[in-house]
Every structure is written in structure tokens, then in C-alpha cells.
Amino acid sequence: MAQAAANGIEIEYETFGEPGLPPLLLVMGLGAQMITWDEGFCEQLAAEGFFVVRYDNRDTGLSTRFEEAGLPDLGTLMAAMATGESAPAGATAYTLEDMADDGIGVLDALGLDRAHIVGASMGGMIVQAMAIRHPGRVLSMCSIMSTTGDRSVGAPTPEAIGALMSAPPANRAEAMDRAIEAQKVIGGKGFPVDEERLRQRAGRAYDRAFYPPGMARQLAAILTASDRTPALGRLAVPTLVIHGEDDPLVTPSGGQATARAVPGAELLTIPGMGHDLPEPAWSRIIGAIAANARKAVATPAAQA
């Protein structure tokens, strides 16, 4: 792993595959470190012929933390969202657009002119913003278990909100237990769950960089984001939308709306998948990502 100076901050990143291959940038979701993109998943993508880059979003993992910003008032932000009111001035430390510019900054640091971009959950929102703000840098886009920012679609179930808003774990053992509890709420029922593997991943994430305040500030960025639907309608990039049919955290209408918004987008729904990336579904997901990427005109990326 290494750090890059990107968009005025430091971003931790890691690569898989040969640098001369078409770049593919992976963007993870709310509070999730880049290691949530499983090494096996990244290696399988690289085997499809991509130079794969995963990174820690700002305020997550080993990237720059925004401690000086303090904690947002999530209660006020959620109430404003529910009533359709505008967020108070200064309610967020940064926006999803800032986070999108971070990803472009990683490409800049690596000397990569254009890339295929893939995002999961909040990462899907971020890659949508990347494609909107930097269309010349995007070869193809894949938005997984995400939504458009339209509050009328993709709304979580009450149970999923409860899992999302629960108090942070007090220690490593509790973090590992919480991973299992959360999986039971937001995971799909159509795939077997390897609880020991989930526990190990949660323990590794806790040891690497346990930082709940960053998740709160990222959530504030989501809550204050505008509806991207009109801008998505102006995209001209091969787009794939993937969504689990059992997703309770970003319900399937969010993915359906995303696919409707982007001209020519393909929608792949996976029965039995929730708000996760179960290993038995990897081959289908990776195959679809690769097929969508091949729709783009292949141009060698400049290397630093």
C-alpha cells in the first residue's frame, strides 16, 4: 500500500495487476475501508485484464482525517431531509463532489488519464459524481447497490436504519460481533455466510483504522447531497448498475432509478443478494463489470 497526494489531502491506495493495463478504480462505501474490496475480488478483476486501484476514502482507513471539523448534527440533517428542507450552512465538512475529486486526484497521482470506475453504496454515489464532474476521465462506470440522490427512491428499511445508526462498538471483540449482527440485517438470504471470515475482516479493519467520526461526516455528505438524476441523464459513458434484489439498506428502487437515469445503462439485479458482495456472486459481478468496460473505446492510459 502507498499514499498519494490527491485533491489537497493524502489518500492511501493499493494496486493489483499490471500498470500498463486499462485502469479500473474501486470506490468503497460509507465508513468502509478499501480492504472491504476483498483481495480475491481485486485479483479476479485484475485477471480480467485491468490495472486495479482501490483506495481509502477521506476520513476512512489511512487517508486524511477531518478531525478539526468535529461531529455533524446528524439528527438535524435527517430531520431536514425528511421534510425536504435545505441543510443548515456549514452542516458538512465536505461533499460527495469533494470525495469524487479525491478519486480523480488518485488517478492524477498515478499518471492515469482515464479509468473505468466502480463504486459500491456511497462509492456508487461518488463514481456517479466523478462521471458527472469529470466525464473526460471516465471510460466506463459501474454503480453497485447505490442510488441517485432522489429521496423518493432507495429508502432504507427501518431495520436497516437501526443497524446503520447504532452506537459504535466499544472494542475489537464487539466490532467483530457487530459485523455478524449487521450482516443478518443488511445481507441477503440467498447466499451462505462465512461468519468466521466476516469476523476476521472486521477485526482486521478495527486494527488497521477504527475511526467512527469519519463515518458520521461521510453520512452527512450523503444526507446533504443533491439529486443527481438530471445530470446522470446527460452522461454518455457505458454504464452498468448492479443491485441485490434483497437489499434493505439501499432498496432496489435506487438501482432501478439509476439505470433509468443514465442513457443506455444496463441493470443487473441479483436474486438473494443484499447490501453486500457475497463471494458466490463475484464471478457474475466481475464478468458484468468486464463486459461493460469492454464497451468503452480502449485507449492506453498515460503512466507516470
For the residues 269-289, what does the mean pLDDT come to?
A: 97
The pLDDT tens digits of the residues spanning 293-303 come to: 999 964 444 33
The answer on pLDDT for 248 being more than 70 is yes
The answer on pLDDT for 207 being more than 90 is yes
Question: What is the per-residue pLDDT for 91?
Answer: 80
Report which of residues 89 and 204 the model is more confident about: 204
Indicate the average pLDDT of the chain: 94
Question: What is the per-residue pLDDT for 303?
Answer: 34
The answer on pLDDT for 154 being more than 60 is yes
CATH architecture for segment(s) 2-157+213-293: 3-Layer(aba) Sandwich (3.40)
Quick check: pTM over 0.75?
yes
User: Which residue, chain included where needed, has cell 500498470?
Assistant: 19
The pLDDT tens digits of the residues spanning 90-99 come to: 789 999 999 9
The answer on pLDDT for 64 being more than 70 is yes
Question: What is the per-residue pLDDT for 165?
Answer: 86
What one-character-per-residue DSSP string does the chain give?
-EEEEETTEEEEEEEES-TTSPEEEEE--TT--GGGS-HHHHHHHHHTT-EEEEEPPTTSTTSPP-GGG----HHHHHHHHHHTPPPPTT--S--HHHHHHHHHHHHHHTT-S-EEEEEETHHHHHHHHHHHH-GGGEEEEEEES---S-TTSSPPPHHHHHHHTSPPPSSHHHHHHHHHHHHHHHS-SSS---HHHHHHHHHHHHHHH--HHHHHHHHHHHHTPPP-HHHHTT--S-EEEEEETT-SSS-THHHHHHHHHSTT-EEEEETT--SS--GGGHHHHHHHHHHHHTTSPP-PPP--
Question: What is the per-residue pLDDT for 299?
Answer: 40
The answer on pLDDT for 279 being more than 80 is yes
- Domain positions in the chain are 2-157+213-293
pLDDT-based confidence at residue 1 (cuts at 50, 70, 90)? confident
